[in-house]
Amino acid sequence: MRLPINKLSVWQQITFSAALLERMLPNYKMFSEATDVGDYRVLRNQLNLVWQRLDKKQKVNINCEVQLEKLEAEIPDPEQFSFFGVFPALDACMALNALLQYIQDNDIELINQISRLSHNSVSAYVELLILEENSEIEDVDPLLINQDPLMKWEQEMQNAMFDLLQQSPENIQTIKAIKDMALGQGLSNLGMEIA
Dump pLDDT digits (tens) for 152-177.
Answer: 999 999 999 999 999 999 999 999 99
Report how many domains make up the chain: 1
Q: Is residue 46 in some structural domain?
A: yes
Asked whether residue 1 carries a pLDDT value surpassing 70, the answer given is no
Dump pLDDT digits (tens) for 70-105.
Answer: 999 999 999 999 999 999 999 999 999 999 999 999
Q: How far apart are CA 130 and CA 139, in angstroms?
A: 10
Q: Is residue 189 in some structural domain?
A: no
Residues 6 or more apart in contact with residue 47 via CB below 8 angstroms: 18, 21, 22, 25, 96
What is the CATH number for 55?
1.20.1590.10
Q: What range defines the domain where residue 23 resides?
A: 5-183
